[in-house]
Amino acid sequence: MAKHADGYELKDGISVVVNSECPTCQLTSDLLVELGTNGHVEIFSQDDPSFPTSAEWVHDDSELSFSWHNDVEAVPTLIRVVNGKEVERLAGWNRKEWERLLEMENLAPDLIDHKPGCGSLSVSPDRVDELEIKFGGRTFISRQVAIASLEDEMEAMHDRGWSDGLPVVPPTEARVNRMLAGTSRNSDDIVAIIPPNLAECSVEKVAINAVMAGCLPEYLPVVIACLEAICTDEFNMHGVLATTMGVGPIFIVSGPITERLGMNSGINVLGHGNRANSTIGRAVQLVLKNVGGGAPGGIDRATLGHMGKQGFCFAEAPSPWENLAEGFGFSSEQNTVTAFTGEGPRILVDQKSRNPESLARSLADGLRSTISTRMVLGMDAMLVISPEHLSRFTDAGWSRSQFIEKMTELLMVDTDEIIEGAGGIEDGIPSAFGGNQLPKFRPGGLLVVHAGGPAGLFSAIIGGWLNGAKGSDPVTKEITL
């Protein structure tokens, strides 16, 4: 009778881990029976406690406890233990090696000399997560929600109000466990206090929502950095969520991590089709809704909203100019997320400007109408400048600061044109401000990001929301792995 391998401690002598379906284990089964019968080895059988035979020295490891705790990667594996300590292990069949380890001669002379083993069930992809949770001591704070066998899990999650309108990936313990491997942070660490309900959000809750959004584990540190950026007084996520204006948080990832995660900073950068771009921002929105309680139509009062509120995240392309994060005091080698409150992107077309002065005027023309031509200073804007447009400036030797300086000059607004009643339009700044020149944007209020496909004379404007202490300021956070 095989006994159950409850204990996983290594005992002095030689232990052999086998699996009845492994051809190498089958090949050596007669030898293993001989060795076991003569008291030379103890056997731990992963799938069949009667393989290679039913005996006192064959232990049932169908729970894979022995295999998992002793990091068995292949079968057969021989582990030699002296004074409670492992001194050597062998994987697969190799007569000379086995003879040396067992200190015996002429082992199974009829067998071929050597044959590699098979993968251990304890490292099989469909078992490893379950075993890590069972034996690895991973505990979850979140409650388990059982979905009945007759329920469709996609519908069940939607009915519970957990989705953003699109299907979500079921956050099983195995998937969440895998997601948590993406960060070095403890699962019960608090990442942020999420508005509007001011709910404490643990790394675990972020991981659950990241699974649902479709993230890979390596995206998790970026999702965490995004939440750290928006849940600050400066960013004022509560206001961004509650405002009737159709804006949402937009995330720009800068630094070497963008390439490692396969993020898109090129063709269709502000569109769909890239997993990291599409799911990182979505995970943040799911946290805001599920953990923070900020549901559209509830605290989210946007009159119109925009599609980017499904999740709006993209990577900044390498640039001859300093990148966005450098503008906020980080280095180009640091991995960062910058959160900006914005509307949907709007294309600026200029296909004929060949010199930088002309293109600067053209871009300024477009930027003047950001949010409203009547509005100055109160709202920032992000200019996503494409490679071909950028080259008009860099080819002429313009630096980023020269560009900003020129844009500031071109974006001075004659207040007579934007006071209340001017041009027959009631909206406008108070008439007392007439007869002046005011800048369209506050200093630093025009953010420039280089991104987009290599061909095409287009750039894009993303208009902002109220800036400063009364609204939302851009916030950059370093991504901690």
Q: Give the interface with other proteins as residue ranges (CB under 8 A).
A: 140, 142-150, 153, 157, 162, 170-173, 176, 194, 197, 199-201, 204-205, 208-209, 212, 236, 238-239, 242-243, 286, 290-293, 466, 469-472
Taking the least distance from each CB to other proteins, the nearer of 83 and 303 is: 303
Q: Tokens 């997320």 sit at which residue?
A: 337
Find the shortest distance in angstroms from Cβ 285 to other proteins: 12
Pairing mode, if any, of strands 446-450 and 379-385? parallel
| Contact between residue 224 and residue 332 where contact means Cβ atoms under 8 Å apart | no
Q: CA separation (Å) from 249 to 16, 226, 465?
A: 56, 9, 10
Find the shortest distance in angstroms from Cβ 85 to other proteins: 39
Q: What is the DSSP letter of 469?
A: G
Taking the least distance from each CB to other proteins, the nearer of 57 and 235 is: 235
Find the shortest distance in angstroms from Cβ 458 to other proteins: 32
Taking the least distance from each CB to other proteins, the nearer of 1 and 146 is: 146
Taking the least distance from each CB to other proteins, the nearer of 191 and 449 is: 191
Taking the least distance from each CB to other proteins, the nearer of 145 and 304 is: 145
d(CA 416, CA 429): 9
Find the shortest distance in angstroms from Cβ 60 to other proteins: 22
Taking the least distance from each CB to other proteins, the nearer of 197 and 355 is: 197
- Using DSSP's 3-state secondary structure scheme, residue 43 falls into strand
The beta strands (E) that lie in 262-343 are given as 313-315, 336-342
Find the shortest distance in angstroms from Cβ 421 to other proteins: 16
Taking the least distance from each CB to other proteins, the nearer of 35 and 286 is: 286
d(CA 122, CA 91): 14
Find the shortest distance in angstroms from Cβ 226 to other proteins: 17
Q: What is the DSSP letter of 480?
A: P
| Contact between residue 106 and residue 95 where contact means Cβ atoms under 8 Å apart | no
Q: Which residues make Cβ contacts (< 8 Å) with residue 208, sequence separation at least 6?
A: 142, 171, 176, 179
Residue type, 275: R
Find the shortest distance in angstroms from Cβ 201 to other proteins: 7
Find the shortest distance in angstroms from Cβ 411 to other proteins: 24
Taking the least distance from each CB to other proteins, the nearer of 138 and 361 is: 138
Taking the least distance from each CB to other proteins, the nearer of 77 and 341 is: 341
Taking the least distance from each CB to other proteins, the nearer of 278 and 290 is: 290
Find the shortest distance in angstroms from Cβ 220 to other proteins: 14
> If we measure between CA atoms, which residue out of 306, 197, 295, 298 comes closest to residue 245?
306
Find the shortest distance in angstroms from Cβ 315 to other proteins: 26
Find the shortest distance in angstroms from Cβ 346 to other proteins: 23
d(CA 287, CA 143): 16
Bridge partners of 345? Answer: none
Find the shortest distance in angstroms from Cβ 209 to other proteins: 5
Taking the least distance from each CB to other proteins, the nearer of 42 and 473 is: 473
Rounded to whole angstroms, the maximal C-alpha distance in the chain is 105
Taking the least distance from each CB to other proteins, the nearer of 144 and 184 is: 144
Side-chain-side CA neighbours of 346 within 13 Å: the count stands at 15
Q: What would the two tokens of residue 75 be?
A: 């079968």
H or E element, residue 347: strand 346-349
| Contact between residue 171 and residue 291 where contact means Cβ atoms under 8 Å apart | no
- CA-atom Rg of the chain in angstroms: 31
Provide the angle, in degrees to the nearest 10, between the axes of the packed helices 275-290 and 220-230.
50
**With left for phi above 0 and alpha for psi between -120 and 50, is residue 64 left, alpha or beta?**
left
Q: Which residues make Cβ contacts (< 8 Å) with residue 351, sequence separation at least 6?
A: 457
- Using DSSP's 3-state secondary structure scheme, residue 7 falls into coil
